[in-house]
């Protein structure tokens, strides 16, 4: 059994490519390497790690979508560079970049459009993370309603799909969303 080890590019290069400082990159890498000594994380490990934060629900579906959003080159494994690039966008990027990343997350088949089925899957995955014991008890059509609300908000021309521009426009109109996007500024 060969142990494939991925090593990231140098610290300076990463610092240049992302919005993190050297120290932050060091901390990130130490955590990354601790959990994935081989230097790359596959989907299984990804799901396990993410599931630890949501012990009472099933975080596997959302982790699956997340993984595919992180794995931009669709290689099946997320290396440290991909990881750090995505984190840089999410934590330090501009609003535009964050929204674009989120659009990419929702667009499961990466065709540039979000349709209702994709949104349904995402919303269902989010609800799954809550688990069974919630109050109020999750009803069958709650996710569907949630998706309908979302589409009513986002789909400007009511053609049943949300394009990137519609998405950006709608989100920028919504103060709540704008505010919550800034929530994790100081995460590092």
Partner 1 sequence: MAAGVAAWLPFARAAAIGWMPVANCPMPLAPADKNKRQDELIVLNVSGRRFQTWRTTLERYPDTLLGSTEKEFFFNEDTKEYFFDRDPEVFRCVLNFYRTGKLHYPRYECISAYDDELAFYGILPEIIGDCCYEEYKDRKRENAERLMDDNDSENNQESMPSLSFRQTMWRAFENPHTSTLALVFYYVTGFFIAVSVITNVVETVPCGTVPGSKELPCGERYSVAFFCLDTACVMIFTVEYLLRLFAAPSRYRFIRSVMSIIDVVAIMPYYIGLVMTNNEDVSGAFVTLRVFRVFRIFKFSRHSQGLRILGYTLKSCASELGFLLFSLTMAIIIFATVMFYAEKGSSASKFTSIPASFWYTIVTMTTLGYGDMVPKTIAGKIFGSICSLSGVLVIALPVPVIVSNFSRIYHQNQRADKRRAQKKARLARIRVAKTGSSNAYLHSKRNGLLNEALELMGTPEEEHMGKTASLIESQHHHLLHCLEKTTGLSYLVDDPLLSVRTSTIKNHEFIDEQMFEQNCMESSMQNYPSTRSPSLSSHPGLTTTCCSRRSKKTTHLPNSNLPATRLRSMQELSTIHIQGSEQPSLTTSRSSLNLKADDGLRPNCKTSQITTAIISIPTPPALTPEGESRPPPASPGPNTNIPSIASNVVKVSAL
User: How near is the Cβ of 42 to partner 1 at its closest, in Å?
Assistant: 15
Positive/negative CA dihedral, 121, 127, 133, 137? negative
3-state secondary structure of 83: helix
Q: Does 139 bind partner 1 (CB under 8 A)?
A: yes
Q: Which of 31, 76, 112, 160 binds partner 1 (CB under 8 A)?
A: 31
User: How near is the Cβ of 185 to partner 1 at its closest, in Å?
Assistant: 8
Q: How many residues bind partner 1 (CB under 8 A)?
A: 66
Residues near 148 by beta carbon (within 8 Å), at least 6 away in sequence: none
CA distance 115 to 18: 31
- The one-character DSSP state at 108 is T
CA 47 to mean position of chain CA atoms: 12
Q: Does 180 bind partner 1 (CB under 8 A)?
A: yes
Query: Do the Cβ atoms of 84 and 18 come closer than 8 Å?
Result: yes
Q: Does 186 bind partner 1 (CB under 8 A)?
A: yes
Q: Does 158 bind partner 1 (CB under 8 A)?
A: no
Which of these, 120, 114, 119, 143, lies nearest to 130 by C-alpha position?
143
Query: Do the Cβ atoms of 165 and 134 come closer than 8 Å?
Result: no
Q: Does 126 bind partner 1 (CB under 8 A)?
A: yes
Q: Does 148 bind partner 1 (CB under 8 A)?
A: yes
Q: Does 113 bind partner 1 (CB under 8 A)?
A: no
Interface residue list for partner 1 (CB under 8 A): 23, 27-28, 30-32, 34-35, 49-50, 52-56, 62, 65-66, 69, 83, 86-87, 90-91, 98-99, 101-102, 105-106, 122-123, 126-127, 129-131, 133-136, 138-139, 142, 145-146, 148-150, 152-154, 167, 171, 174-177, 179-181, 183-184, 186-188
């Amino acid at each position: 059994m060969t142990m494939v080890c991925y090593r990231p590019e140098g610290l300076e290069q990463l610092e240049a490519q992302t919005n993190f400082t050297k120290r932050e990159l060091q901390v990130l890498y130490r955590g990354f390497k601790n959990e994935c000594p081989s230097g790359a994380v596959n989907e299984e490990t990804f799901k396990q790690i993410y599931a630890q934060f949501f012990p009472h629900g099933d975080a596997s579906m959302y982790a699956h979508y997340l993984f595919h959003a992180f794995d931009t080159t669709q290689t099946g494994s997320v290396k440290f560079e991909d990881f750090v690039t995505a984190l840089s966008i999410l934590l330090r990027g501009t609003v535009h970049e964050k929204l674009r990343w989120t659009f990419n997350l929702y667009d499961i088949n990466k065709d540039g459009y979000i349709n209702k089925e994709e949104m349904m899957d995402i919303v269902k995955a989010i609800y799954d993370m809550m688990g069974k014991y919630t109050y109020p008890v999750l009803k069958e059509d709650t996710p569907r309603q949630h998706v309908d609300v979302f589409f009513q908000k986002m789909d400007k021309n009511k053609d049943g799909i949300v394009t990137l521009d519609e998405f950006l426009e709608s989100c920028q109109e919504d103060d709540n969303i704008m505010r919550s996007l800034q929530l994790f500024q100081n995460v590092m």
